[in-house]
Every structure is written in structure tokens, then in C-alpha cells.
Amino acid sequence: MTTVTLTDLEKRYPNGHQAISKLNLSIEQGEMVVLVGPSGCGKSTLLRMIAGLETITQGDLLIDNLRVNEHEPSERDIAMVFQNYALYPHMSVYNNMAYGLRNRKTPKTQIEELVTNAANMLEISHLLDRKPKELSGGQRQRVAMGRAIVRKPKVFLFDEPLSNLDAKLRVQMRLEIKKLQRKLSTTSIYVTHDQVEAMTLADKLVVLNQGNIEQVGTPLEIYESP
């Protein structure tokens, strides 16, 4: 049961810029929270702080009631899916997906099982021997998803994962991400600037503005309130 709790969280960059101010947010087990808001409002900063890629200036970040403020990214049991896929270009799809598991000294037979299952789920089993450059954008995004799910992390973080895809593929992948997230029931935080994507995916929408939460609610409450 994985919850994520942010308490009075703050980020001030070394140049003095306050990107996140006293932010409070609670994310329930299995919930998908979508962060929206204008460019520069702090979406990436917040996601990167949760991932452990940015330091926390003040406040607390709890994952399952454990304060992880100073934990390394690898100690947080979180998987992040990026816009630019961030695949290793010289490695096969199989090895891209296996990489994180090998680092954790997962036994080889178990790696094979986890990668095979994830590849089936994402319908990329026929691509395991290819290199990223031999894949389409949508296929690369599936591999990036596969790499995230094989580790069975407690939390998924998505940083505009579909924004490099064409419109048709974006719609398709959006539905697949929703299905996968429901199926795995992994607590998720998803950043997007696409309103339709936000409405389709969110259990809870968080509207950020200048480092503060402006609104929180279901898509219906936020977009269709009178």
C-alpha cells in the first residue's frame, strides 16, 4: 500500500528562484495524480524532487510514511518515464529493460520472466533483440514503460511521456497507460500540459501556479465546475 505525502515542500534553486512554495499534497495507494499548469509553474521541479533528482530545500517527502528527503533515487523504489524515452542506444530492447534489474542483482531466470511478462503486456515481445534506433517513437515509449514496470516500483512518475508522439499515437498510448496503471494499481504522478490527457488519466488533478497548488479535485470538479 503505497502513499506519497508532501508536507510544506519547498524548492529554492541556488540562484534564489523559489520554484515550489509550501506545497501540501497526499496521494493515495493506486491513485493517479496528474499535475497540470502553465509552463514554468514547477511541474518538473516537483516531479524531480519526488524522484530524488533535485534536492528538497524544506519540508518533508514521505513514501509509505518513511521520510525519504535525503534518499538516493535508487533507494526510493520509484520509476520515472521521460518524454525523450532515455533508452540506452547501444543496448537491445531486452537489455534496456533488464538493466535496472541486473543492477539490483536480480537472478537471471527472474529477470527473464519479468522482462518477458512486461514485453507481453506492452506487446513488444517481437522487438526484444532490436536497438532503440530500429524502433518507432511509439515502440520506444513502450520500451521506456517496460523498463519502468519490470522493477515493480512503488511509484511511477511520468514526465510528459507522450509529447513526442503524433496525435493519433498519443491517444492510443494514453489509453494504454491508463489500462496498465489500473491493472498494476501503482501509485502514479503524471505531468502533462495536454488538458485532454489530464482529464482522461487523472483520478485527481492538481493545478499548479507559480509553485503553489491552485486547485485540487477530480477532472469533473475542476473542468466542469460552474
Which residues sit at the interface with ligand ADP, rule CB under 6 A? 13, 15, 17, 19, 37, 39-45, 91-92, 94-95, 112, 128-129
Residue with smaller CB distance to ligand ADP, 8 or 129 = 129
Alpha helices of the chain — where are they, by DSSP H?
43-51, 93-103, 108-121, 137-149, 167-184, 195-201, 219-223
In the complex, the smallest distance separating the C-beta of residue 208 from ligand ADP, rounded to whole angstroms, is 7
Task: State which residue, 129 or 185, has the beta carbon closest to ligand ADP.
Answer: 129
Q: How far apart are CA 8 and CA 165, in angstroms?
A: 35
Residue 39's CB is within 10 A of a number of other CB atoms, namely: 7
Nearest residue (CB) to ligand ADP, 4 versus 19: 19
Q: Min. distance of Cβ 65 from ligand ADP in angstroms?
A: 26
Which 3 state secondary structure label does DSSP give 50? helix
Residues 199, 171: contact at Cβ < 8 Å? no
Shortest Å distance, C-beta 136 to ligand ADP: 19
Rounded least distance, CB 29 to ligand ADP, Å: 26
Q: In whole angstroms, what is the distance from residue 37 CA to residue 219 CA?
A: 14
Q: Please say which residue, 133 or 168, places its beta carbon nearer to ligand ADP.
A: 133
